[in-house]
Each structure stands twice: as C-alpha cells, then as structure tokens.
A and B are shown apart, each in its own frame.
Chain A
Amino acid sequence: MGRYAAKRIGFALITVLVAITLNFVLFRALPGDAVSALRCKACTAAFRAAQRHDLGLDRPLVTQYGLYLKGIASGDLGSSLRTEAPVRGAIWEAIKNTVPMVTLGTVFSIVFGIIAGVISAWRRGTFVDKITQQTALAFYSMPTQWLALLIVLFVAGAVGLPTSGLADPSIDILGDASTWSILVDRFQHMVLPSLTLGLVLYGDYSLIVRSAMLETLGEDYVLTARAKGLSSWRIVWRHGLRNALLPIVTLVALSLGFVIGGTYTIEFIFSYPGIGYATVEAIDQRDYPILQGIFLLVTFSVIGFNLIADLLYPKLDPRVVSS
C-alpha cells in the first residue's frame, strides 16, 4: 500500500511539473508571444515593448522559465493583461461561483445516473432499460451549448427561472435584502446552469454505471448470492453496485476535473460569472495570463482528482495493489 501510494503521488508530482512546463512552452516558445497577440486600442509599438519588458519577455528563455517557476511556487500567477488585477484574485472570485453550481449539477447527475444505470442493468432488455438507454444516449450526443440554449428557449420561461447572471441586480434596491432572500436568489440563478451540466453528465454516468453493473451482475458471486436466496434488492445494491464502484469511481473522478473545464459554454450562455465565463472572456480578449492561470488550475484539479481516485482504489478493490 505504502509503495503503491508513493508511486501514484510521484507520478502526480511529475505530471504537475510537465503541465507547468508545457504551460510555459505553449505560451512563450510558439511564434507570436502574448503581447503581439494582445488586441487593444492603445497597443502601440512602444506600449508593446514596455509590456514585454514588464512581463520579462525580453529576457532569455531560461531566465524566464526560472522566474516563472519562482512565481508559481510563491502562488503568483501574474496579472491580467486587460485589467492588470492579479490573476490569482480573479480566478479565486470565479471559482467561488463555479464550485457550488458544478457541485449541484454533479450531485444531480451522479444520483440520477446511478439510479438509472442500476435499474437499466438490473432490468436488462426490458422496455425500461431501452427507454433509459436511449434517453442517456441522446443526452450523450447533444452538444452542451445546444442543450443550454434549448433550456433557455423552452424550459426557462415555463418554470420562471432566471437565465442570466449570478444574482438579481435589483435585489437590494428596496432596502437591505435578508440573507435568506439573497441565498434563494443565488440558488435560483444556479438551477438552470446546474441542470444543463447535470443532464449532460447524466447521459455519461448512467451509461457507464449500466455497463459496469452488467459486468458485475454476470459474475459468479452474484449467481452464488442468488442461489443463497438473497433478495434481488440486496444482490443489486450490496453485491452488484459495490463491486461495480471501481470503474464508476475512476470515470467520475476523471470527469470531475474536466467538469470544471467543461462549464465554459454553459456559464457563457447563462452569463454565469465563473471559471468558464472568465475563460471565454479571456479568449476573446486574448488575456493570456488569465488563460494560463486557468489552464494550470484545471490541470492541477484533474491531476488531483486522478490521484484521489488512484488512492481510493485499494480501499475499493485490494487487488489493485497486488497486480
């Protein structure tokens, strides 16, 4: 166990280093640096030269790399080219908005994905299974941004939920709003983006859970459990699902990292000021320091979730360590 954990952690650390380096290489070594791509009215040649000097782009690459590593080590990610505010603060603000929204959507999709997947596998070949699978496949095939647009177009009006922003701008115009009403307002703004994310992930998760369940339900110990006369309920949940958890945890953990990166289009359509919205804005403005910061953040979270999944395996399936 100790050796296994050390190996996984070592791999994660090396990957972090590779990601940091790649982040550096992608932004500096390719033709056209961040400043030449900067689009603004006041971008004269002199301004560009000054910017290059400020960013240290006129120094040798090795020195730049050293400075860059030093910056990251001390948590300094530079500052935005557009607002000149520190990148770290901007990203932190965005994350605070994204995390609750993503959590709500993910929990929704995991709960419904597991229920649908388990029922579908349990009742394999029946009408219920077919309907569940076709629905999941349809959600699996839809472009995320399109689903978001459909929800704005057809669902939002019907259920009367807001489709843009983080909070109602007029909420405290008539005196101070109570904490409760602010919370309710925030939640209402969160529902539709979360629902979109949840539906998209639901398709993936229920298909994955179904195939993982089918695999375990075909095992001999399930047959044994049945022979012992256990109830189907017990067989499915205790013997089936618990053993199917390994592939499910892998895929959920792997996708969690991408979920943060996957909110781009959803947040953009719902004008929800999170990480995704910040990214699309930064792309539009060619604000490279922000993009770089977000890239690092998403990479780290993916690596982090992977590591957690790796470290969880032995708990779920002790065979992992020995193999």
Chain B
Amino acid sequence: MKRRGPVLQAVLGEWQSRIGLAILFVTLIAAVFGQLLEPYGIDQQVGGTLDPPSSAHWLGTDGGGVDLVTLLIAGARVSLIVGFAGAAVAMVIGGLVGVLSGFFGGKTDAALMRVTDYFLVLPDVPLLIIVAAIWGRSLQNIVLIIGLIYWTSTARLIRAQVKSVRERVYVRRAQALGASNTRLIFRHIVPQIAPLLIANTVLMVAQAIFLETFITFLGLGDPSAISWGKLIENSFKDDAVLNGAWWAVVPPGLAVTIVILACTLVGQSMEDALNPRLRVGHLSVRRFRVRPALRERDGA
C-alpha cells in the first residue's frame, strides 16, 4: 500500500479540512457545470423587482427581476476564477522573488527584500483603487491587482524557506557535483518548497475572493461580470436592504464567507502538516492575515 504524504493525510484526517474540501469541491462543480445547473438565463427577466423566494425561484429575484439562484451559480464561476487566477499571479511573482532572493542571497536578496519591504508598508487599498481607476475595470485587471498586492507575503515566506533548504546537505552536495543554479533551483529546491507554496496559494485564494468583493463594491469591478461581489453590490444598489429583501442580500455574502472559511481550513491544515511547529500551537504564531480591507500584510 502506498503511504499517503503527510500533507494529504493531514488534510483528509481532520474533520474541519474535510468539510473545507467538500465545500470547495461543491463550489468547483457549481462553477464548472454552472451553465447546465442554472435554471434561467443571467439576463433573463423572470419575475418582478425583488420577488420573495417561491417554488419557481428558490431565492427570489433581484432588483432587475432575474432569478437569484441562477445569479448565485454564475457568480461562483467568476468569483472562483478571480480567486484562483489572482492567487496564481501572486504565487508566481512572490515565488519567483522569494526563490531568487533566498537562493542567491547577498546583493540580490538585499535589493529584492528592500522592494518587498516598501510594498509591505504601502497600504494596498488606496493603491488598488488608484490602479483600478486608471487601468480600467475588467476581470484581468482585478486579477493583476490582486496578484500585485499579495505577492509580498508569499515572497517573504518562500525566501525564508529557500534560505533554509539551500543550506541543506543534499543541496550542497548537488552543487559540489557541479549542478547548475537552474538545476539546483528547479530539481532540488522548488520541489521541496512546493507543498508550502500550494498551502499558501489555497489561503491566498480566500484573500483574493475577498478582495474581489471589496473592489467590486467600491464600483471598480468588471461591470459586465456577475460575481458574488457584484451580487452584494447589486443588493445594496437595488435597495434590497431598505425593502427587507434578505434573499438578495444574504446568499451571496454567505457563499463568500463559506468558501473563504473552507479555503482557510484546508490551507491551515496543510500548513500545520508542513510545519510541525505550527501544529504544536504554542511554538509559533499562526499566520492569520488581517483581511484586505484592514490587513496586517505579513503575519509572522
């Protein structure tokens, strides 16, 4: 029998992370097969303004008379795409900076970390607003912005890890045998830090989805894309709150909350497995990131 890796074991072993995985799986299914599941069209007016839930429309209709179940499923697609793509961009930039900085050390490290420090201190929300306002409102730009804002904490984390892996005996031996830097990085170091990078990305997906709702609520989102953030914004714009239309307000936010919770649970149990110090709990501060609107950037 093949032994499961410690990460997989940890993720499948705890009930919290199993629930998290199940939620992510269901959301993913909804996002991928969304078009087949949506009962109506996303532009199709099927009822009155803010109709309450009924047997035909389980979650009622929004301010434009569009079925909210349909919109919620369509929103899953956009929110997840933005979440995963934004996290991926952050991971690539952060991973690259972290690996280069940690591997080469010296002047490269000093220069890259200086840049990272400045990015860490600059408040990202105003930055994000300015960039979104100037670059224009599209999903690609949101993904880019999310990546540009979140790469710093990944870079820090990866740099620390690479610095320690780089000094391990097997890496030094490979180096002594004449392995090139490229080979050392891609064959010997990156595979070692990959699980950590993945755990970090899962946590980042949550942050990215969160940030998307925020950007959208500020009116800087893609005007044509239906995301959960957009649905929350619409419920506010359509005065759903004033009309007591909870069915337009509660579901999209709940969906975001649940998915973020799921990502956090899965990501953390992965981190715990990778870093035994975290699991002991009293040995290290777990890296909770303060949310985008009020973040602390680099927890550890």
Judge if B84 is at the interface, Cβ distance under 8 Å: no
- If A27-B130, A143-B232 touch, does A212 touch B285 (CB 8 Å cutoff)? yes
Tell me which of A145, A152, A153 contacts B213 (CB under 8 A): A145
Whether A218 pairs with B293 at a CB distance below 8 angstroms is: no
CA separation between A262 and B232, bound complex, in Å? 17
Judge if A4 is at the interface, Cβ distance under 8 Å: no
Whether A215 pairs with B217 at a CB distance below 8 angstroms is: no
Task: Select the stretch in A41-49, A59-67, A169-177, A279-287 that faces chain B.
Answer: A279-287
Q: Which chain A residue lies CB-closest to B209?
A: A143
Tell me which of B130, B134, B260 contacts A32 (CB under 8 A): B134
The smallest C-beta distance from A150 to any residue of chain B, in angstroms, reads 7
Whether A283 pairs with B294 at a CB distance below 8 angstroms is: no
Task: Select the stretch in B1-9, B35-43, B250-258 that faces chain A.
Answer: B250-258
Whether B294 pairs with A204 at a CB distance below 8 angstroms is: yes
CA separation between A18 and B119, bound complex, in Å? 10
Q: Contacts of A150 on B, CB cut-off 8 Å?
A: 249-250, 253
Task: Select the stretch in B54-62, B175-183, B276-284 that faces chain A.
Answer: B276-284
Q: Contacts of A247 on B, CB cut-off 8 Å?
A: 285
Whether A207 pairs with B257 at a CB distance below 8 angstroms is: no
Whether B253 pairs with A26 at a CB distance below 8 angstroms is: no
Whether B261 pairs with A137 at a CB distance below 8 angstroms is: yes
Whether A217 pairs with B249 at a CB distance below 8 angstroms is: no
Tell me which of B133, B229, B280, B290 contacts A37 (CB under 8 A): B133
The smallest C-beta distance from B77 to any residue of chain A, in angstroms, reads 18
CA separation between A158 and B296, bound complex, in Å? 34
Whether A261 pairs with B288 at a CB distance below 8 angstroms is: no
Judge if A146 is at the interface, Cβ distance under 8 Å: yes
Whether A18 pairs with B118 at a CB distance below 8 angstroms is: yes
Judge if A303 is at the interface, Cβ distance under 8 Å: yes
Residue among A146, A212, A214, A280 with the highest chain B CB neighbour number at 10 A = A146
Give 1 or 0 for each of B259-300: 1 = CB within 8 Å of chain A CB.
011001000000000000000111111101011011111010
Whether B125 pairs with A261 at a CB distance below 8 angstroms is: yes
CA separation between A217 and B299, bound complex, in Å? 19
CA separation between A154 and B244, bound complex, in Å? 9
- If A258-B290, A283-B133 touch, does A298 touch B123 (CB 8 Å cutoff)? yes
Q: Which chain B residue lies CB-closest to A203?
A: B291
Q: Contacts of A291 on B, CB cut-off 8 Å?
A: 126, 129-130, 133
Give 1 or 0 for each of B163-206: 1 = CB within 8 Å of chain A CB.
00000000000000000000000000000000000000000001
The smallest C-beta distance from A221 to any residue of chain B, in angstroms, reads 13
Tell me whether chain A's interface is mostly helix, strand or loop, or mixed. Answer: helix
Whether B133 pairs with A153 at a CB distance below 8 angstroms is: no
The smallest C-beta distance from B152 to any residue of chain A, in angstroms, reads 13
Tell me which of B125, B256, B261, B297 contacts A143 (CB under 8 A): B256
Q: Which chain B residue lies CB-closest to A252?
A: B296
Give 1 or 0 for each of B224-239: 1 = CB within 8 Å of chain A CB.
0000010011011000
Give 1 or 0 for each of A57-98: 1 = CB within 8 Å of chain B CB.
000000000000000000000000000000000000000000
Judge if A138 is at the interface, Cβ distance under 8 Å: yes
CA separation between A175 and B122, bound complex, in Å? 48
CA separation between A15 and B123, bound complex, in Å? 12
The smallest C-beta distance from A144 to any residue of chain B, in angstroms, reads 5
CA separation between A286 and B258, bound complex, in Å? 34
Judge if B219 is at the interface, Cβ distance under 8 Å: yes
CA separation between A198 and B260, bound complex, in Å? 20
Q: Contacts of A306 on B, CB cut-off 8 Å?
A: 121
Q: Contacts of A137 on B, CB cut-off 8 Å?
A: 261, 264
CA separation between A268 and B218, bound complex, in Å? 9
Residue among A15, A150, A261 with the highest chain B CB neighbour number at 10 A = A261
Residue among A141, A200, A262 with the highest chain B CB neighbour number at 10 A = A141
Judge if A190 is at the interface, Cβ distance under 8 Å: no
Whether A265 pairs with B291 at a CB distance below 8 angstroms is: no
CA separation between A32 and B136, bound complex, in Å? 10
Whether B134 pairs with A144 at a CB distance below 8 angstroms is: no
Judge if B151 is at the interface, Cβ distance under 8 Å: no
The smallest C-beta distance from A130 to any residue of chain B, in angstroms, reads 10
Give 1 or 0 for each of A288-304: 1 = CB within 8 Å of chain B CB.
10011011001100110
CA separation between A219 and B294, bound complex, in Å? 31
Judge if A254 is at the interface, Cβ distance under 8 Å: yes
Residue among A27, A143, A144, A204 with the highest chain B CB neighbour number at 10 A = A143
Whether B257 pairs with A141 at a CB distance below 8 angstroms is: yes
Judge if A123 is at the interface, Cβ distance under 8 Å: no
The smallest C-beta distance from B210 to any residue of chain A, in angstroms, reads 6
Whether A146 pairs with B232 at a CB distance below 8 angstroms is: yes
CA separation between A219 and B264, bound complex, in Å? 27
Measured CB to CB, the residues of B under 8 A from A are: 117-118, 121-123, 125-127, 129-131, 133-135, 206, 210, 213-214, 217-220, 229, 232-233, 235-236, 241, 244, 246, 249-250, 252-253, 256-258, 260-261, 264, 280-286, 288, 290-291, 293-297, 299
12 pairs, CB–CB < 8 Å, chain A vs chain B:
A141-B210, A142-B256, A143-B210, A146-B256, A204-B290, A208-B288, A211-B281, A214-B281, A264-B125, A295-B126, A295-B129, A306-B121
Top 4 closest A-B pairs, CB basis? A218-B282, A146-B253, A262-B294, A262-B293
Other A-B pairs beyond A141-B258, A145-B232, 15, CB < 8 Å? A19-B122, A30-B135, A37-B134, A141-B206, A145-B236, A149-B249, A150-B249, A150-B253, A211-B288, A254-B296, A258-B123, A261-B123, A280-B218, A280-B219, A299-B122
